[in-house]
Structure 1
Amino acid sequence: MPKLPFKTLPKEFEKTIVGNADIGELEIPKYGDLSPNERIFIKENTVSIPDVRSSAVRLAKTIASKSGKKVIEIYNAIVTNDVEFLADSLEELLEFQKLSEESSRQRNLVMATAIIKFRLQPEWDFEDTSDANQIHPLLVDAIAQFARNEESGWVESESVEVTEEDLGNSTTDESQIGQKSTGESEDTGRKKKGSAKEDSETSQPG
């Protein structure tokens, strides 16, 4: 491997312990950013994963066309799981939650695989990350969070409020809403009020 003629050698990267005694611990080099190879790997392997925020916009517009409610109000209800506001659209909300959970799982898989592959074990691949006998699922989530922290430079990003102008109130191209850098988590910028799944189950007889 060729060496650069440094006048002053850069400091060695510090290492961060990710995980705990129950799920296992890994010592991972901390760069303060994702490497170019990691970014390329994440971008290439998340391109087919549904964008949750765009899906939320599409669903909001669909419900608005049937209910007459404002798109922005429905969008806010979707991303906060406001089951009371969406009482007439619980089935659609449940489907959205399933999509959101699966999208998050897939993204975590990609993010964790990128970190392990490029920082710890070059032979590592998706099959290894998916194998609970190889790595605990909760450790996968922890490494994915580490990757997101690296991507953001360990700076906590502020939530961006989505406005009616952003949504275009049924005219804006939803692909423009919530665009993210590669691998960013599917955070819609709002806290959840509850689970539509839980509410629908408790509201059903028997």
Structure 2
Amino acid sequence: MLKLPFKTLPQEFEKVTVGNARIGELSIPKYGDLSPNERIYIKNSGLVDLRKAAVDLAKDIAAKSGLSAIAVYNALTAGDSNTLKEFLSEFIEFQDLMEENAAKRNIVLATTIIKFRVLPEWEIENTQDAAQIPPLLVDAVAEFAKSEESGWVEETEVTETSEEGLGNSVNPESQTGEKSTGGVEDTGHKKKGFAP
């Protein structure tokens, strides 16, 4: 292994105990972020890109409804069925996709942390096996991973996405040519139930 010629050695990573006596405890190094390899592993895990799915569905519904794509996108990601009452079937399918993806994402996040920080041979199949790791411990490790992913920053209220953030609407008649007044900002880690 190559060693950098540090003038000052970095401090050892703090170890965090995840879990409890009932579900088991793991000692996991806390980096304060996910490593590049962990991010790549998560990206290549086959999870659905919910933002892209929401944009595609929003553009499709906007073309049929006369609503702006941004209004549809915000309704989809905020769980606003009232705005999309004419498209409840599509709305429910997207909500189901979000729930399924959230469950899969928890398994992927827990697997990533265990694989890269605890036991390199660990795979998704191991995480899915309740005989190897209790489901509540999977959830606890996934929550630890989410905290690492967000840099341990507390969650804040998610702001609505603007036209600039979403891209151009499919419905050109609804565009005014004016810049959106909504703020475009990276909302980072989202609350449960929102598209990441």
TM-score tier (shorter): 0.7 to 0.9
Could you tell me which residue of structure 1 aligns to residue 177 of structure 2?
A: none
User: Aligned match of 2:123 in 122, 125, 145?
Assistant: 125
CA RMSD of aligned residues (A): 2.9
Secondary structure of the 1:26 match is strand
- After superposition, the C-alpha distances for 1:140-197 in whole angstroms (9 at most, x for unaligned) are 222122123223322346545310233322279xxxxx9x9xxx86x3x7977xxxxx
Distance in 1 (alpha carbons) for counterparts of 2:17 and 2:93: 36
Q: Is the 8 A contact 1:79 1:190 kept in 2?
A: no
Q: Equivalences for 1:44-193 in 2 at 5 Å?
A: 44-45=44-45, 48-156=46-154, 159-167=158-166, 168-170=168-170, 187=190
- After superposition, the C-alpha distances for 1:94-127 in whole angstroms (9 at most, x for unaligned) are 1101111222222222221111012111221111
- Structure 2, unpaired ranges of 5+: 173-183
Q: Structure 1 pair 85/161, CA: closer, same or farther in 2 (3 Å)?
A: closer
Could you tell me which residue of structure 2 aligns to residue 17 of structure 1?
A: 17
Q: Which moved more, 1:62-71 or 1:158-167?
A: 158-167
TM, length-normalised to structure 1? 0.73
Q: Which has the higher contact order (CA 8 A, sep 6+)?
A: 1
TM, length-normalised to structure 2? 0.76
Q: Structure 1 pair 52/17, CA: closer, same or farther in 2 (3 Å)?
A: same
- Structure 1, unpaired ranges of 5+: 173-177, 193-206
1:6 offset after TM fit, Å? Answer: 5.3
Secondary structure of the 2:44 match is helix
Distance in 2 (alpha carbons) for counterparts of 1:5 and 1:26: 32
Distance in 2 (alpha carbons) for counterparts of 1:133 and 1:144: 18
**Identical pairs, percent:** 56
Distance in 1 (alpha carbons) for counterparts of 2:150 and 2:129: 28
Q: Structure 1 pair 60/190, CA: closer, same or farther in 2 (3 Å)?
A: farther
1:49 offset after TM fit, Å? Answer: 2.1
Q: Structure 1 pair 7/165, CA: closer, same or farther in 2 (3 Å)?
A: closer
Distance in 2 (alpha carbons) for counterparts of 1:190 and 1:112: 16
Q: Structure 1 pair 10/115, CA: closer, same or farther in 2 (3 Å)?
A: same
Q: Structure 1 pair 97/138, CA: closer, same or farther in 2 (3 Å)?
A: farther
- Alignment partner of 1:37 is 2:37: yes
- After superposition, the C-alpha distances for 1:7-37 in whole angstroms (9 at most, x for unaligned) are 6443222111222344332221111122333
Q: Is the 8 A contact 1:23 1:138 kept in 2?
A: yes
Q: Structure 1 pair 81/65, CA: closer, same or farther in 2 (3 Å)?
A: same
Q: Which amino acid aligns with 1:148?
A: K
Q: Structure 1 pair 40/72, CA: closer, same or farther in 2 (3 Å)?
A: closer
Q: Which moved more, 1:141-150 or 1:91-100?
A: 141-150
Distance in 2 (alpha carbons) for counterparts of 1:39 and 1:57: 23
